[in-house]
C-alpha cells in the first residue's frame, strides 16, 4: 500500500481562512515547484483558481494528471463521502505562483 492510499491528512489547502459548522474555506498558494502534500477529499467541495498556471496531480489510484489552469476556472465535487473519496497531491509545475480558494462543505442538505 502506497503512502498516498494510507493518507488521512484532511488539510486540503495551505491556509485555513474560515471555518464554521457548515463549511471550511481554504486557500492554496503554491510557489513554482512547491507541492500541496497528499490530502483526503471525503466531503463535497469546490475550488476556484485565482491565477493562470500548470500543475501535476498524483492520485491514490496511481494516476497522474497534468492540468493547465486559467484564472476563474472552477470545479465542483458534489457527491464525495467517507465511502466515495479520493486522495491526491498537487505540484505547481508553472513559473509563477498558483493560487486557489477551496470551499469544503461539512454536510449536504
- 101 in Cβ contact with 47 (< 8 Å): yes
Instruction: Let me know if residue 92 belongs to a domain.
Output: yes
Instruction: Let me know if residue 7 belongs to a domain.
Output: no
Instruction: Let me know if residue 108 belongs to a domain.
Output: no
Instruction: Let me know if residue 80 belongs to a domain.
Output: yes
| Per-residue model confidence (pLDDT) at position 57 | 96
- 102 in Cβ contact with 45 (< 8 Å): yes
Residue 52 backbone dihedrals phi, psi, to 5 degrees: -70, 150
Instruction: Let me know if residue 61 belongs to a domain.
Output: yes
| Per-residue model confidence (pLDDT) at position 109 | 54
Residue span of the structural domain in which 46 resides:
15-101
Q: Give the CA distances from residue 58 to residues 25, 48, 88, 90, 105, in Å, rounded to whole numbers and listed in that order.
A: 23, 19, 5, 7, 23
| Per-residue pLDDT tens digits for 55-85 | 999 999 999 999 999 999 999 999 999 899 9
DSSP 3-state of 42: coil
| Per-residue pLDDT tens digits for 2-49 | 555 566 778 899 999 999 999 999 999 999 999 999 999 999 999 999
Instruction: Let me know if residue 25 belongs to a domain.
Output: yes
| Per-residue model confidence (pLDDT) at position 10 | 80
Cell 481562512 belongs to residue: 17
Report the alpha-carbon distance of residue 62 to residue 65 in Å, rounded: 10
Residue 88: CATH number of its domain:
2.60.120.10
Instruction: Let me know if residue 84 belongs to a domain.
Output: yes
What is the domain count for the chain?
Answer: 1
| Per-residue model confidence (pLDDT) at position 1 | 43
Q: Is the pTM of this model over 0.95?
A: no
Amino acid at each position: 500500500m502506497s503512502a498516498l492510499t494510507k493518507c488521512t491528512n484532511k488539510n486540503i489547502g495551505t491556509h485555513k481562512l474560515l471555518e464554521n459548522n457548515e463549511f471550511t474555506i481554504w486557500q492554496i498558494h503554491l510557489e513554482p515547484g512547491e507541492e500541496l502534500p497528499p490530502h483526503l477529499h471525503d466531503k463535497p467541495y469546490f475550488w476556484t483558481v485565482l491565477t493562470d498556471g500548470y500543475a501535476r496531480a498524483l492520485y491514490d489510484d496511481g494516476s497522474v494528471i497534468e492540468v493547465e489552469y486559467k484564472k476563474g476556472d472552477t470545479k465542483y465535487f458534489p457527491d464525495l463521502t467517507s465511502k466515495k473519496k479520493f486522495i491526491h497531491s498537487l505540484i505547481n509545475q508553472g513559473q509563477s505562483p498558483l493560487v486557489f480558494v477551496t470551499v469544503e462543505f461539512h454536510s449536504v442538505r
